[in-house]
Structure 1
Amino acid sequence: MARRFVTLDVFTERRLAGNPLAVVLDAEGLDTAAMQAVAREFNLSETVFVLPPGEARHRARLRIFTPARELPFAGHPTVGAAVLLALEDPARGDARAFGLEEGIGIVPCVVETSGDGTGGRARFRLPVLPEYLGPGPDPAVLAPLLGLEPGDIGTGRHRPSRHGVGPSFTCVPVASVAALDAARPAQAPDSSDGLYLYTPDPVASGRGWRVRMFAPHLGVPEDPATGSAASAFAGVLMEFEALGDGTHDVAIRQGEAMGRPSAIALQLTVESGGLRGVEIGGDAVIVSDGVLHV
């Protein structure tokens, strides 16, 4: 059967940067094994399958697969699919809001499409808040995995910690951009985690961070942009940064080490000293439009 698919580059305004994504628009009739096989064939960090929503008031139901397994939620597939689904409904105007059904719950999205119909910008609000999963491994354990020295682990008050938002991550602060760039991809000591390295961005005008993410257990040695990890990173910031009440905008840069620079906008809402909301935003642009015969 012929099924239409579209590829996009996500968390970037230009093609051949950011994080590539495949979206299969005609996914009805595909079972889990077939979806996993298609994801392995595309061999991108994630492939999205679009299905009719369980409730008519939502735009679509999404299933998200890495080359190795299905995920309940991921950020760059949410942004890319939201932009594409908005572009598929040009009669509804350049800006729209809708819900996407994912394994984590209903993800509310707001999308603004470009005038030429080739891309746009989406932001979504997490239906659940990041969960603190405990302290991370000792720097003496992490450093040799990453090809670094123990003194390269840590920055300011930050120490390794684990956080989750569907997918889970071991979050590792490193002392400098040089150490970040020198790190080699590795599997987190907890085999279910991605390994998320971060350091302050010295050229950011406000709160900014440079990051890398490794997830060999998902078939992704390194990811050029990871919205779910950025979502979990909100928990890191609440743990180690002095964030007062209000809205905090954080700029995250990822993918430079891979030659695919990405820009992720993270927004935290803090009330009465607690995290009350997390939003992720970014751009996406169409790269190709084709037909899959499965």
Structure 2
Amino acid sequence: MLQLRYTQVDVFSAIPTRGNPVGIVHCDASPSDDFMFGVARWLGLSETVFLLPPSNPEADYRVRIWSTLGELPFAGHPTLGACHAWIESGGVPRAAHIVQECGIGLVKIRHSEQIIDGSIGCHLQAPDSRPVATLAFMAPPLLRGGPVSHELLALVCKGLNLEPGSVLDAEWVDNGAGWLALLLQEDKDVLAVLPDYSKLSGLAVGIIAPVESQPIASASLFESRAFIAGDAVPEDPATGSLQAGIGLWFSRRGFGADRYTVRQGTCMGRLGRILVHREHGEVWVGGSTTTCISGTISAPERHEE
């Protein structure tokens, strides 16, 4: 029986256990696919990451990311959670940015501190004014973008119990998990959605709207939800990959302020806060990360690649 180091990190909330958890299994070599998939299904989290030595000389470390449905080339909160675990275990970046190697390629990550004022409440819901350490990744290029067909949009609206006329815009924003996103008019429309997963045909769908009817071109606060039909965790409490894809879409269309915050997980009792920042043609997606569980995980003997 193997004893592997295990870390569970809460991502996208300044308050531990109120964001999105990700499991990190620390390995000195890549286990077999069957081993990793088995562990991910047993843990039952939205994603489990296997943290590995890099194979690319430009990378600081490598990750393989698994959901309960299979391996993903990229995912947002696992990227930040894995980086947090890597730093906490003594990792030191080779350059100004930390570089993660994953299925989609190399992803840049940076570490910073942001002053969070508990009185404004619209950022990370910290209880007082204090510096909060955040990690942010640069949004990778989309694997699929562009408009959603009328036929597919009609199917998605039926699955979300939405009237097609309530959708202001819809685009593919897929950077690894298959996301498509709908822009709705107000945050109350996002919170009112009652998904019927049986009608979503295995799709990964995100919805987003500005809070309190802010003009879309300058909105600084959004409400969002993410649904993955067929997954063990069908609604995700805070989704970095979705917001990275939406961030690229919004940047191209001129939607949102150059710095905006996305609230997610409200309907689940979570306090997900995702910070999106556009600069020099790049989109950065970040938030707080906190280790909530640290120890070892017992697993049967693995077969390495």
Q: TM-score, normalised by structure 2?
A: 0.80
Contact 2:28 2:53 in 1 (8 A): no
| 1:234 maps to 2:247 | yes
What residue is the counterpart of 1:165 in the other structure? Answer: 175
Question: Residue 137 of structure 1: CA displacement?
Answer: 4.0
CA 1:69/1:283 → structure 2, altered by over 3 Å: closer, same or farther? same
- How much has 1:235 moved relative to structure 2? 3.4
Q: Which residue of 1 aligns with 2:260?
A: 250
- Give the residue type in structure 2 aligned to 1:282: G
Deviation string 1:76-128 (CA, Å, 9 cap, x unpaired) is 001111112112228x59x97321101111111112489xxxx9421111342
SS of 1:287's partner is strand
> Residue 123 of structure 1 aligns with which residue?
136
Offset, 1:129 = 4.9
Counterpart amino acid of 2:272? S
Aligned match of 2:70: 69
**Does structure 1 residue 281 correspond to structure 2 residue 286?**
yes
Q: Does 1:133 align with 2:146?
A: yes
Partners of 1:113 and 1:265 in 2: how far apart?
12
Deviations 1:128-187 (A, max 9, x none): 257423325466543332123344x22xxx322222222222211223222211212345
Give the letter aligned to residue 133 of structure 1: G
Question: Which residue does the alignment assign to 1:14?
Answer: 15
Higher mean displacement: 127-136 or 39-48:
127-136
Deviates more, 1:249-258 or 1:205-214: 205-214
SS across alignment from 1:202? helix
Verify the 8 A CA contact 2:109 2:136 in the aligned structure 1. yes
Q: Give the secondary structure class of the aligned counterpart of 1:148.
A: coil
**Secondary structure at 1:280 match in 2:** strand
Which moved further from structure 2: 177-186 or 276-285? Answer: 177-186
C-alpha separation between the residues in 1 aligned to 2:213 and 2:16? Answer: 24
Match of 1:97 in 2: 97
Identity of aligned residues (%): 28
User: Unpaired segments of 5 or more residues in structure 1?
Assistant: 271-275
User: What does the per-residue CA deviation read over 1:43-78, in whole Å, with 9 as the maximum and x for residues that have no partner?
Assistant: 111110011101344221100011111100000001
Identify the residue that residue 222 of structure 2 maps to in structure 1: 209
Who is 2:87 aligned against? Answer: 86
Give secondary structure in 1 for the equivalent of 2:63.
strand
Distance in 1, Cα, partners of 2:15 & 2:253: 34
2:277 is aligned with 1:267: yes
